[in-house]
Amino acid sequence: MVGSIGIDGLISGMKTTELIDQLLAVEGNQQKLLASKRTGLQSVVSALQSLNTKVASLGTAATTALKAESWQTTTASSTSTSVVAVTSTDATPSSVTMTVDTLASSQSTLYTLPTSYSDAKPMFTLAIGGELKTITASSDHIGDIVSAFNAEGTGVSASAVNVGTAKDPVYKLQLTGTTTGATNSFSLTAINPNDGTALSAQSLRTAADAQITLWPGTPGETKVFSSSNEFKGVLTGVDLTVSKTGAEEVTVTVGRNAATMSKLAANIVTNLSAVLGDIADRTKSSTGTATDGGSILKGGLLSGNTAVRVMQQAALTAGALQVDGKSPASVGIVLGKDGTFTYDEAKFTAAYNADPVGTQKIVQAVASTLETAATSASDPTKGSLTAQIKSYEGEVSDLADRIADWDDRLTTRRASLTRTYTAMEVAMSKMQSTSNFLSQQLAQLNANNAS
């Protein structure tokens, strides 16, 4: 086959492979230009994607700060460790004074059991919480009776108490309610005692409610009861748990959680700084070398990008807002002369403690401006940065296809040039063979004529 013949200088002496490479290098310059353009566009896409992620995070932080419930976080304090207060999202600033009078308790009773029963399985009626339950043991052995009362759902726990000696044990049955509160008291009767006598009971502890007194010693003094040691909703959104009684007055105070509120503002500044820092890095100029060897000032990768410039301007505008004559700097969101933001937590805390409503208003004004700008830029369907990313990604994909087409085109061109130069070498080889044959014939003819 012609394509398998080596062609470098077989007949002509020409370096045809090198010549083909040079010709293809000239024709492939267009592909190199496309590849260079694709690399540049891919860098822009990566930069925009990175910025877009940061802008979206800024939008999320701003949206969180705009929600009313984000500013409703409260914390509760108590003047005594015997009263623990827990707040929910419904809690509002308030306070209450109280004394803890009694703690909730469950009933505990010691029973003397019958000596025998009318059948092999002792049966008892347990009246607890207004409900009657039948307890049946598998035998009259004290262990089986205890197990029957300890079954799930009886409402009591049981144990055998030896009031005799180790050698001559005498067992009594101790029942203890599993739930505190006066309504959870119980009584026990034997259904089938052999002697027909009632059970003998000794009270160890009665079931009782917990009791606190609100505003003790005032005309508004009020007693509040709970079946457990937890008092739910004594204040709006506040649950109290008591653990010790005493005449000491305890004050529970509920206030706004300044530390949590501070995190809202701090989160905005953190994300805002990330956005502005990224913009600054992507738009700053650098010094390069011109074609003539001199220095040239080169713009940043995203310099001149309108969407980026609009986002940057919106951030700076947010830092310069005036709300009721006060700037964000008054609540710790400080815009520096260099166009960067810092957060002063101490200043925010002081401002919030002095005027929580006004401080919230300023932070939310900043958040509103930033949320609008962030949404306009990074919205997944119509954001300006999102649209640019999609457009550039389309161009990058198109360039990749065009570069691949050039690979096919250059491969085809190389094959064509190889065939051409191979054919030339073959033709020259044939001509040389003909020339050699003619030369031989002429030489033979001359030799014949000479003889």
pLDDT tens profile 198-241: 789 999 999 999 999 999 999 999 999 999 999 999 999 999 99
Choice between 413 and 354, residue whose per-residue pLDDT is larger: 354
- pLDDT value for 92: 84
Predicted confidence band of residue 289 (pLDDT cuts 50, 70, 90):
low
Helix H or strand E encompassing 224: strand 222-226
pLDDT of residue 292: 66
DSSP characters over 343-375: E-HHHHHHHHHH-HHHHHHHHHHHHHHHHHHHH
- Residue pair 369/323 in contact (Cβ under 8 Å)? The answer is no
Q: What is the per-residue pLDDT for 331?
A: 94
Sheet strand arrangement including 83-87: 83-87, 238-242, 230-235
Whether the per-residue pLDDT at 8 is higher than 70: the answer is no
Cβ contact 377:385 at 8 Å: yes
Least confident of 16-25, 97-106, 170-179, 382-391: 16-25
Neighbours of 310 (CB within 10 A): 15
**Amino acid found at 87:** T
In this predicted structure, which of 167-176, 177-186, 408-417 has the lowest mean pLDDT? Answer: 408-417
Using alpha carbons only, what angle is made at residue 422 by residues 416 and 425, rounded to the nearest 5 degrees?
Answer: 145
Q: Looking up tokens 């700060």, which residue turns up?
A: 65
Q: In degrees rounded to 5, what are phi and psi of residue 176? A: -130, 130
- CB neighbourhood size of 263 (10 A): 18
Beta-bridge partner residues of 317: none
Q: In whole angstroms, what is the distance from residue 126 CA to residue 156 CA? A: 9
Measured between alpha carbons, how far is 62 from 369 in angstroms, rounded to an integer?
9
The answer to whether 369 touches 318, Cβ cutoff 8 Å, is yes
Cα angle 227, 229, 234; round to 5: 90
The tally of CA atoms less than 13 A away on the side-chain side of residue 123 is 10
At 105, the amino acid letter reads S
Contact by Cβ (8 Å): 296, 287:
yes
Q: Which two structure tokens, joined as six digits, stand for 365?
A: 């004004």
> Is the pLDDT at 296 greater than 90, yes or no?
no
Confidence of residue 13 (pLDDT cuts 50, 70, 90): low
Residue with the bigger pLDDT between 432 and 2: it is: 432
User: What pLDDT score does 259 carry?
Assistant: 87
What is the DSSP secondary-structure string of 181-207?
Answer: SGGG-EEEEESSBSS-PPPEEEEEE--
Amino acid letter, 8: D
Q: Which residue has the tokens 């044959």?
A: 437
451 or 4, which is more confident: 451
Burial class of residue 147, CB neighbours in 10 A (0-12, 13-18, 19+): middle
Whether 294 has a pLDDT exceeding 90, the answer reads: no
pLDDT (average), residues 339-351:
93
Q: Give the model's confidence band at 165: pLDDT under 50 very low, under 70 low, under 90 confident, else very high.
A: very high
Q: Judge contact between 333 and 343, C-beta under 8 A.
A: yes
Band (2; pLDDT cuts 50, 70, 90): very low
Task: To the nearest 10°, report the CA torsion of 424, 425, 431, 435.
Answer: 150
Which residue stretches of 78-175 are H helix? 142-149
Q: Give the percent of the chain with pLDDT over 90.
A: 50
pLDDT, residue 189, reads: 94
Phi–psi pair at 161, nearest 5 degrees = -115, 120
Q: Which amino acid is at 12?
A: S
